[in-house]
Amino acid sequence: MTLPPGYTLHATPPAPDDYLRLRRDAGLRPKTVAQAAAALAGSWSACHVTAPDGTTVAMGRVVGDGGWYFVVADMATSPAHQRRGLGTAVLDHLLADVAHRAPDDAYVSLTTESAGRALYEGAGFTTLRPDRTGMQLVLPARATP
């Protein structure tokens, strides 16, 4: 995937403040600075895209065990920069990295909103079989003493 003129893909995670801003701007659940730092440090693979003015405008990362199981996470593009192929470029980079570094027969999964479905289907992702369902558990915040 070729980026529009002036945009640059970096094969590194975004800075924590850019990570938090992109999550917020893209409508993802807000996270704390500590959560951002841990998430970025714990990524198996990550990349981000900068606009011509140097602002980070898109990102994505992969969390994985390095053996066979990988999860695409935190795919986000600033609304002002959407529909330019940035998400496709980020996803292509992440999947190429998994294909290059992971052992054969890697399993890559993700969770998406309906708005992101076309991006992932275009990359070859398919909906789980009818006898399987995606599930989630979000643990509540701990009470502070």
Kindly give the confidence (pLDDT) of every residue in the chain, 145 residues in length, as a single tens digit, with 9 standing for 90 and above: 689 999 999 999 999 999 999 999 999 999 999 999 999 999 999 999 999 999 999 999 999 999 999 999 999 999 999 999 999 999 999 999 999 999 999 999 998 887 888 999 999 998 887 777 777 777 887 776 6
- Enclosing domain of residue 34: 8-122
Q: How many domains does the chain have?
A: 1
Q: How far is CA 83 from the centre of its chain?
A: 16
Degrees (nearest 5) of the Cα angle 4, 7, 13? 130
DSSP state of 71: E
Place of tokens 């011509």: 52
Is there a domain that residue 78 lies in? yes
Place of tokens 């995606």: 134
- Residue 65 is part of a domain; what is its CATH number? 3.40.630.30
Is there a domain that residue 143 lies in? no
Q: Has this prediction a pTM greater than 0.75?
A: yes
Q: How far apart are CA 102 and CA 112, in angstroms?
A: 23
